Amino acid sequence: MLWLKAFHIMAVVAWFAGLFYLPRLFVYHADAPVGSQLSETFKKMEHRLLTAIMTPAMALVWISGLTLAWWTGYYTDHWLQAKFALVFLLSGYQGALSRWTKDFAADRNTRSAKFYRVANEVPTIFLIAIVLLVVLKPF
């Protein structure tokens, strides 16, 4: 069980690293001229981050988290159900990041750097809420 918890935590850290970094790349990419070498570099970085780190990490978070919930029996606890709801919403946020990555790849971005600066704060809110639920188990 401790090994699974350790892998779960490592997957969470890797996933959140990507959730924090990808929107930051978008901030700079939004200001890069379309077709420029800088824009093409950002496209590669964004694609690799999403496909090689974030998506596998998210899958490992779900697999290890659901397994831990089952093994521990916590799946009936309301705090864990709330946590799963937040992780589900966070997975939807990654879906939006994936869509935006595709928009940039096709030179279809219509959003400003300011939009992505605000979007960059979303994972922080989720991280705070999830950690508080796990540590405090308030209900």
The annotation places the binding site at: 8, 83
Count the residues in the chain.
139
Q: Summarize the annotated binding site for heme as residue ranges.
A: 8, 83
**Which residue type occupies 55?**
T
Structure tokens belonging to residue 27: 């901030």
Cα 25 versus chain centre, distance: 14
CA distance 138 to 136: 5
Q: Kindly tell me the number of DSSP H helices and DSSP E strands found in the chain.
A: 6, 0
Q: Are 63 and 50 in contact (CB under 8 A)?
A: no
CA distance 99 to 104: 9
